[in-house]
């Protein structure tokens, strides 16, 4: 079996030089750092920050003519780019990883790619590889390195050469992504895939990322992307690299975007979310989420077992606007007061036991309740069989009064935790409940 697989891989058209050694069907195990990280910072940085227009989409949807969009190449300087300052900020925010847009759908690479000539190195005043110093700065601070790479490339001459399966032949589609039905060319698509694989390989070999964050998978079917082959090749070349779910059916985790699923995914997941309403730098967008809203979203995310990947959009010179820096710092300060409820925890109670998110310490003996609102005298926990030994307000040395009321035999009743206003954190209060053993839940009534 193994030799048959190797023979098959030796024919792999795009990465012929790879030394494949693992056998097919081996399950990838998600790197433990990912679930423990809780917070990552997403960075959408590209030529679109010059005019402050939507990343890639602005020419795709016709808001900006392609030539004008591409003229932003001439204004992209990275003149004040200090990746060490980014890394320091990310650490202050409490983030354990960061994901930089190495290439968005516009096709402009932030690194010195040899696969084509569309990179900031040769085509912008920045004139240098911007990914390498980012990788070094993050590693020096112990922050895991993520790279975003869009499968889609609306600038590549061979990209718009096949149509997604099931596409109506009468439908013209967007010319940046799709040819007319009569102009399809599988040879040119194969050329594009060769280019795509060359870039992915460069990212993996040069930067050894801890995370490869794909995007754009929706434009083609998995057979067209040859997703299974790509996943296998990545696993062979860089087995430690975590891959997000936008490698359909082969990613390590799910990537809900801009909203938390009310029922969190059962598998690992990560919510990607903009600090304001834009992924990249758009100066007119001042709708930055307040620190209180960000903390709430973060608590809801980790309470459901996810990570938050919070996005910022630097200016073309590489600096971040103060509103974004301040948001990251405020989130980091809140996390700093509540680290115990964040790092080293797992998803909390199912819905209904407590009206808010919660997390559990690794041994499931400490339960953290996140409180967004001012309680009316007390908060209530229900359906927990364990006795509660103590309740602390995290970030203070206050222990608060609590009592069990009701219950009969196996049915646990209500745990009331009494709180006053002076116990409350301005952004989100966290209560740590020490249980008398591993969490034991009472859910449904089973007697008639």
Phi, psi of 254 (to 5 degrees): -85, 150
* Shortest distance, position 244 Cβ to ligand GLC, whole Å: 9
Element (H, E) at 102: strand 97-103
* Shortest distance, position 272 Cβ to ligand GLC, whole Å: 5
- Is the CB of 247 or the CB of 381 nearer to ligand GLC? 247
The reply to whether 279 sits near ligand GLC by the rule CB under 6 A is: yes
Q: How many residues does the chain have?
A: 448
CA–CA gap between residue 244 and residue 234 (Å, rounded)? 12
* Shortest distance, position 257 Cβ to ligand GLC, whole Å: 5
Residues linked to residue 434 through DSSP beta bridges, in sequence order:
366, 390
* Shortest distance, position 54 Cβ to ligand GLC, whole Å: 7
CA–CA gap between residue 193 and residue 199 (Å, rounded)? 10
Q: Which of 153, 215, 252, 415 binds ligand GLC (CB under 6 A)?
A: 215
Element (H, E) at 123: helix 120-123
Using alpha carbons, list the distances in angstroms from residue 193 to 15, 88, 181, 377: 11, 37, 20, 62
In which region does residue 28 sit, left (phi positive, over 0), alpha (psi from -120 to 50) or beta (all else)? beta
Binding to ligand GLC by CB under 6 A, coded x per residue (else -) over 250-269, reads -------x------------
The reply to whether 270 sits near ligand GLC by the rule CB under 6 A is: no
The reply to whether 217 sits near ligand GLC by the rule CB under 6 A is: no
- Is the CB of 285 or the CB of 340 nearer to ligand GLC? 285
For strand 97-103 and strand 211-215, is the pairing parallel, antiparallel, or unpaired?
unpaired
* Shortest distance, position 178 Cβ to ligand GLC, whole Å: 17
* Shortest distance, position 279 Cβ to ligand GLC, whole Å: 5
39-68: contacts with ligand GLC (CB under 6 A): 55
Counting Cβ atoms within 10 Å, is residue 186 exposed (0-12), middle (13-18) or buried (19+)? exposed
- Is the CB of 61 or the CB of 403 nearer to ligand GLC? 61
Quote the DSSP letter at residue 80: T
CA angle 102/135/316 to nearest 5° reads 50
* Shortest distance, position 265 Cβ to ligand GLC, whole Å: 16
* Shortest distance, position 311 Cβ to ligand GLC, whole Å: 7
- Is the CB of 320 or the CB of 427 nearer to ligand GLC? 320
339-368: contacts with ligand GLC (CB under 6 A): none
Size of the site for ligand GLC (CB under 6 A): 5
* Shortest distance, position 147 Cβ to ligand GLC, whole Å: 13
Strands of the 306-312 sheet, one edge to the other? 242-243, 211-215, 144-150, 97-103, 39-43, 306-312, 269-274
CA–CA gap between residue 133 and residue 29 (Å, rounded)? 29
- Is the CB of 87 or the CB of 272 nearer to ligand GLC? 272
Phi, psi of 397 (to 5 degrees): -105, 25
- Is the CB of 39 or the CB of 439 nearer to ligand GLC? 39
- Is the CB of 242 or the CB of 432 nearer to ligand GLC? 242
CB distance 116 to 60 below 8 Å: no
- Is the CB of 118 or the CB of 393 nearer to ligand GLC? 118
The reply to whether 272 sits near ligand GLC by the rule CB under 6 A is: yes
- Is the CB of 279 or the CB of 281 nearer to ligand GLC? 279
CA–CA gap between residue 118 and residue 7 (Å, rounded)? 35
Residues linked to residue 403 through DSSP beta bridges, in sequence order:
416
Site for ligand GLC, rule CB under 6 A: 55, 215, 257, 272, 279
């Amino acid at each position: 079996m193994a030799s048959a697989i190797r023979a098959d891989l030796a024919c792999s058209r795009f990465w012929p030089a790879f030394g494949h050694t693992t056998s097919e069907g081996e399950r990838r195990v998600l790197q433990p750092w990912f679930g423990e990280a809780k917070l990552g910072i997403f960075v959408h940085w590209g030529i679109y920050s010059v005019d402050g227009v939507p990343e890639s989409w602005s020419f795709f949807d016709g808001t900006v003519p392609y030539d004008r969009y591409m003229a932003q190449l001439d204004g992209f300087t990275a003149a004040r780019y200090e990746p060490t300052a980014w890394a320091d900020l990310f650490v202050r925010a409490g983030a354990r990883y960061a994901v930089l847009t190495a290439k968005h759908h516009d096709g402009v690479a932030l690194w010195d790619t040899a696969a084509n000539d569309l990179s900031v190195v040769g085509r912008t005043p920045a004139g240098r590889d911007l990914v390498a110093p980012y990788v070094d700065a993050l590693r020096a601070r112990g922050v895991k390195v993520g790279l975003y790479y869009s499968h889609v490339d609306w600038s590549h001459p061979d990209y718009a050469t096949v149509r997604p399966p099931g596409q109506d032949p009468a439908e013209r589609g967007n010319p940046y992504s799709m040819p007319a039905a009569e102009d399809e060319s599988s040879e040119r698509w194969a050329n594009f895939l060769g280019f795509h694989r060359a870039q992915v390989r460069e990212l993996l070999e040069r930067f050894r990322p801890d995370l490869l964050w794909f995007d754009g998978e929706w434009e083609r079917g998995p057979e067209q992307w040859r997703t299974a082959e790509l996943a296998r090749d990545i696993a062979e070349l860089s087995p430690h690299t975590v891959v997000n779910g936008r490698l359909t059916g082969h990613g390590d985790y799910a990537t809900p975007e801009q909203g938390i699923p009310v029922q969190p995914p059962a598998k690992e997941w990560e919510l990607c979310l903009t600090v304001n309403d834009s992924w990249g730098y758009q100066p007119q967008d001042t709708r930055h989420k307040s620190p209180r809203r960000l903390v709430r979203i973060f608590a809801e995310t980790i309470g459901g077992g996810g990570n938050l990947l919070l996005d910022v959009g630097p200016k073309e010179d590489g600096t971040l606007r103060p509103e974004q820096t301040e948001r990251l710092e405020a989130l980091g300060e809140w996390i700093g007061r509540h680290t115990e409820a964040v790092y080293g925890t797992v998803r909390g109670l199912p819905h209904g036991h407590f009206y808010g998110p919660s997390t559990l310490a690794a041994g499931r003996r400490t339960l953290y309740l996140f409180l967004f609102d001012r309680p009316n005298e007390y908060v209530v926990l229900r359906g927990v069989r364990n006795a509660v030994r103590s309740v602390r307000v995290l970030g203070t040395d206050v222990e608060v009064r609590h009592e069990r009321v009701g219950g009969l035999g196996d049915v646990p009743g209500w745990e009331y935790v009494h709180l006053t206003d002076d116990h409350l954190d301005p952004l989100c209060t966290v209560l740590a409940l020490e249980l008398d053993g591993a969490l034991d839940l009472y859910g449904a009534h089973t007697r008639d």
